[in-house]
């Protein structure tokens, strides 16, 4: 036997494959009112962000919505490496977005500048699948990428909703939530963000009533205003937020920020303290924070993203 | 392709292959449902600019690879389109898969890129020139990368006590996935 013969015997997909959903998928595609390459007025995208706080597994993506005529479910990922070879090799694409203006090129430029100094000229591309990439204009884009229109915008509220669904401080994965509790939390988020006309849909699970598993939630990436609720495979009690250090950090952010009413500046101070207790010294580094004058208190979101993302949004002055 | 019937033909011809392609590359079988749904959604949107003939299958694999890469970079994305398939994949009994801890161990020490190349050859039944099309590189580059990946795999197999022969992959019109022996 040669090397490939050894491998061939281990094929996990040899033999017949399931046919469930096949007909429905084709029917759904064929009835989609989407002319090829043009058409739908909304775009769902994924925008990655990250902030080095402490080690944690996983990754982050935010679902966002565009009002532009470019269609398709896409992702937006900022190149923050200084050379294309690093980008190609590591796919290290993003760091935290200190603010989302809705213009991914401008936001990525701000992020690049925060991390590397002055940003070069950047261009956004559709990768043709589920990602938009924002890269320096001097880099060579793969031949199947298409430049994004400069008018491309994202919907920050949809983005924040998706981010909060991943939040380990207060979101569905912050504890082992039942499906009912997760749904209540989702509805409260939508209300806070002013998102109207949204629905929730429970994904099929063997734990029909969600009583023995922990819920997770995702914004549907097909562009509908739907949050999908599913069940983690693990049993109750097995869901733990990474390392003990991370668990401690999360607990401190919960008690010091989520359960209090702080201004943005005070919340930044609280994050610094919590990170210090976790052994992360940020010195004078600027924390990802967005001013939200309409908020009474600052919200904190922590998402494990390979790096850990911590984002604050809040008012200059708290109004408990 | 312009007519829906052409797309349906494409769908019927390659649905199983694409699902297998996804199943070979996801940790949880149910995750393949979203890969399949998203890949077909891309195909639907791009049905007017898709290559023709046999190239379509490789083009679909190329799209699926990028969908998988995006999944790996971001969080697992879920689509309502994939509900039914996800449910079936999540609940079906595991297919009987042969296990060989030593081979699995040898595979595990390889880089993701090397594993990807080997899986395309051994499981997807692609030829080096097909691999080049899926990866979007020249056939020469693909051959070099495949050669190096196989060399590293054989070394890894040797290190766990498996001694193998080397036979280059060549195209055989009757049995496209076969090799010379």
| Letter string b/e over residues A104-138, b meaning 16 or more CB atoms within 10 A of that residue's CB | bbbbbbbbbebbeeebeebbbbbbbbbbbbbbbee
Residue B56 in contact with partner chain A when CB distance is under 8 A: no
Phi first, then psi: give them for residue B131, nearest 5 degrees.
Answer: -60, -40
Residue A62 has pLDDT above 80, yes or no: no
Q: Residues A6-20: what's their mean pLDDT?
A: 80
pLDDT of residue B164: 62
H or E element, residue A230: strand A226-235
Distances A201 to A57, A204, A216, B31 between C-alpha atoms, Å = 27, 9, 12, 18
Q: What does the pLDDT profile of chain B (181 residues) look like in tens digits?
A: 445 778 888 998 999 999 999 988 887 777 788 888 888 888 887 777 777 777 888 889 988 887 787 665 444 455 566 667 777 776 665 555 566 778 888 888 888 788 889 999 999 989 888 888 888 777 777 788 888 888 888 888 888 776 665 554 443 333 333 333 2
Chain A residues whose beta carbon lies within 8 Å of the beta carbon of residue B46: 36-37, 128
Contacts of B76 in chain A (CB under 8 A): 218
Kindly indicate the confidence band of residue A35, based on its pLDDT and cuts at 50, 70 and 90.
very low
Query: Mean pLDDT throughout A295-301?
Result: 90
| Whether A176 contacts A239, CB under 8 Å | yes
Provide the pLDDT for residue A239: 44
pLDDT score, position B176: 38
Helices B101-108 and B139-159: crossing angle in degrees, nearest 10, is 130
pLDDT of residue B38: 83
* Residue B170 in contact with partner chain A when CB distance is under 8 A: no
Q: What is the pLDDT, as a whole number, of residue A37?
A: 36
Phi, psi (5° rounding) for residue A112?
Answer: -60, -45
A25 touches chain B (CB under 8 A): yes
Which of A13, A166, A216 has the most B C-beta neighbours within 10 Å, making it the best mutation to test the interface with B?
Answer: A13
Task: Please give the residue that has the higher pLDDT: either B163 or A70.
Answer: B163
Inter-chain residue contact A10 with B154, CB threshold 8 Å: no
- The stretch A279-305 carries a mean pLDDT of 73
Report yes or no: B27 at the A interface, CB cutoff 8 Å. Answer: no
Residue B160's SS3 state is: coil
Checking if the pLDDT of A259 tops 90, the result is: yes
Q: Which of residues 223-242 of A touch B (CB under 8 A)?
A: 224, 226, 228, 230, 233
Measured between CB atoms, does A73 come within 8 Å of chain B?
Answer: yes
**Among A29, A129, A12, which Cα is nearest to B20's?**
A12
Window from A82-96, A265-279, B46-60, B85-99 with minimum mean pLDDT: A82-96
What is the token pair recorded at A205?
A: 């699970």
- pLDDT score, position B93: 52
In the numeric block, the tokens 């006309």 are attached to: A197
Q: Region A63-69: what's the mean pLDDT? A: 28
pLDDT of residue B171: 39
Mean pLDDT of all residues in A34-48:
28
Confidence of residue A258 (pLDDT cuts 50, 70, 90): very high
Q: Which residues of A touch B116 (CB under 8 A)?
A: none
Q: Would you say residue A202 has pLDDT above 60? A: yes
pLDDT of B78: 55
Whose structure tokens read 């949204």?
A198
Which residue from A301, A214, A304 is spatially nearest to A258, judged by alpha carbons?
A301
**Token output for B173:** 């019109």
Q: Is the Cβ pair B78, A203 closer than 8 Å?
A: yes
Q: What is the ipTM of this complex?
A: 0.76
- If you average pLDDT over residues A93-102, what whole number do you get? 51
Q: How many CA atoms lie within 13 A of A22 on its CB side?
A: 15
Q: Which of A4, A30, A56 to mutate to test the interface with B (most CBs of B within 10 A)?
A: A4
Whether A91 has its CB under 8 Å from any CB of chain B: the answer is yes
Q: How confident is the model at residue A266 (pLDDT cuts 50, 70, 90)?
A: very high
Nearest Cα neighbor of A131 from A78, A95, A186 is A78
- Among A residues 96-125, those touching chain B with beta carbons less than 8 Å apart: none
**B55 shares contact with chain A (CB less than 8 Å):** no
Q: In whole angstroms, what separates CA B162 from the centre of its chain?
A: 25
| Mean pLDDT, rounded, for A204-231 | 70
Q: Are A110 and A119 in contact (CB under 8 A)?
A: yes
Which pLDDT value is given to residue A32?
Answer: 56
Q: What's the rounded mean pLDDT across residues A150-166?
A: 77
Cα(A52)–Cα(A285) distance, integer angstroms: 11
């Amino acid at each position: 036997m040669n090397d490939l013969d050894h491998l061939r015997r281990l094929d996990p997909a040899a033999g017949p494959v399931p046919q469930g959903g096949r007909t429905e998928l084709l029917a759904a595609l064929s009835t989609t009112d989407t002319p090829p390459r043009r058409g739908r007025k909304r775009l769902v995208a994924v925008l990655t962000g990250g902030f080095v706080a402490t080690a944690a597994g996983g990754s982050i993506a935010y679902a966002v919505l565009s009002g532009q005529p470019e269609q398709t479910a896409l992702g937006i990922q900022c190149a923050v490496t200084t050379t294309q070879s690093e980008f190609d090799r590591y796919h290290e694409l993003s760091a935290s977005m200190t603010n989302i203006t809705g213009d991914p090129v401008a936001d990525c430029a701000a992020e690049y500048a925060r991390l590397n100094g002055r940003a070069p000229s950047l261009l956004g591309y559709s990768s043709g699948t589920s990602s938009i990439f924002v890269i320096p204009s001097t880099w060579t884009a793969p031949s199947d990428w298409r430049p994004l229109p400069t008018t491309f915008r994202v919907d920050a509220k949809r983005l924040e909703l998706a981010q909060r669904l991943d939040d380990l401080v207060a979101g569905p994965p912050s504890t082992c939530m039942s499906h009912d509790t997760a749904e209540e939390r989702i509805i409260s988020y939508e209300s806070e963000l002013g998102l109207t006309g949204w629905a929730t849909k429970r994904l099929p699970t063997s734990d029909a009533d969600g009583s023995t598993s922990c819920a997770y939630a995702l914004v549907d990436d097909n562009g509908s205003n739907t949050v999908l609720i599913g069940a983690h495979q693990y049993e109750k009690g097995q869901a733990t937020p990474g390392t003990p250090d991370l668990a401690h950090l999360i607990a401190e952010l919960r008690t010091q920020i989520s359960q209090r009413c702080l201004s943005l500046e005070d919340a930044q101070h609280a994050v610094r303290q919590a990170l210090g207790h976790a052994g992360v010294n940020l010195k004078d580094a600027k924390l990802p924070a967005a001013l939200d004058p309409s908020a009474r208190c600052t919200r904190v979101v922590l998402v494990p993203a390979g790096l850990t993302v911590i984002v604050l949004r809040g008012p200059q002055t708290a109004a408990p | 392709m312009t007519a829906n019937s052409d797309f349906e033909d494409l769908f019927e011809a390659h649905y199983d292959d694409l699902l297998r392609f996804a199943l070979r590359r996801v940790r949880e079988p149910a995750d393949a449902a979203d890969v399949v749904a998203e890949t077909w959604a891309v195909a639907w949107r791009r049905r007017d600019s898709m290559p023709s003939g046999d190239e379509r299958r490789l083009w679909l694999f190329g799209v699926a690879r990028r969908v998988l890469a995006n999944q790996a970079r971001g969080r697992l994305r879920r689509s309502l389109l994939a509900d039914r398939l996800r449910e079936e994949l999540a609940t079906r009994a595991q297919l009987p898969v042969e296990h060989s801890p030593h081979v699995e161990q040898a595979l595990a020490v390889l880089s993701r890129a090397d594993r990807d190349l080997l899986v395309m050859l051994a499981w997807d039944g692609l030829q080096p020139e097909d691999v080049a099309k899926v990866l979007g590189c020249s056939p020469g580059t693909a051959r070099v990368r495949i050669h190096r990946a196989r060399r590293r795999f054989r070394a890894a197999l040797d290190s766990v006590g498996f001694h193998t022969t080397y036979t280059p992959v060549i195209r055989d019109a009757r049995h496209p996935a076969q090799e010379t022996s």
